Amino acid sequence: MTHPTTITAPPGLPFVDIVREFDAPVAAVFRAHTDPALFAQWMGPRDYPITVGEFDAKPGGRWGYTFGGGEGEAYGFHGVFHTVEADALIIQTFEFSLAPGAAGIGATTFEEVAGRTRLTSHEIYPTVEARDAVMASGMEYGVNEGYERLDELLAR
């Protein structure tokens, strides 16, 4: 079953909050966020193939990936993992190629709720303009379709 994704970007504040539930154990959802082979199978929209570069899900480990689109488009993301607590918490920095120099930080929690996993992500951007640049890039579409793909992966 696909659950709705709630994405909130409060006007005038440089935050994005995402909440989504998955019909899978916390350990499986967490692993899909920290195992590069699994991550590559679900992250982002279907029509933008992903190339995962470095992806070392441990404190101080770097991560990076690129989405390719039509007509030579490429959108890159990279950052550093700061906290990785198994089945509970990931804190990481991130930077988007369309907003260079505007690194943000995000905290993602994983909790068991009624036999499902509730994922909650709170992203903080350096400015509202940086947040809006990421939102305007199609973030909502990519997050929603990526989580649908994660549902499919978790069901297998």
The total number of structural domains in the chain stands at 1
Within-domain flag for 132: no
Torsion, CA 15, CA 118, CA 20, CA 63, rounded to 10:
60
Within-domain flag for 59: yes
CATH code of the domain in which 21 resides: 3.30.530.20
Within-domain flag for 3: no
Within-domain flag for 77: yes
Per residue in 83-142, pLDDT tens? 999 999 999 999 988 888 889 999 999 999 999 999 999 999 999 998 988 888 788 999
Within-domain flag for 141: no
Within-domain flag for 6: no
Per residue in 29-57, pLDDT tens? 999 999 999 999 999 989 888 999 999 99
Please give the residue range of the domain that contains residue 93: 11-42+51-126
Residue 9, token pair as written in the block: 């970007």
**For residue 129, which of 107, 105, 100, 106 has the smallest C-alpha distance?**
100
pTM above 0.85, yes or no: yes
Within-domain flag for 145: no
Judged by phi (left if over 0) then psi (alpha if -120 to 50, else beta), residue 7 lies in: beta
Q: What's the pLDDT score for residue 97?
A: 87
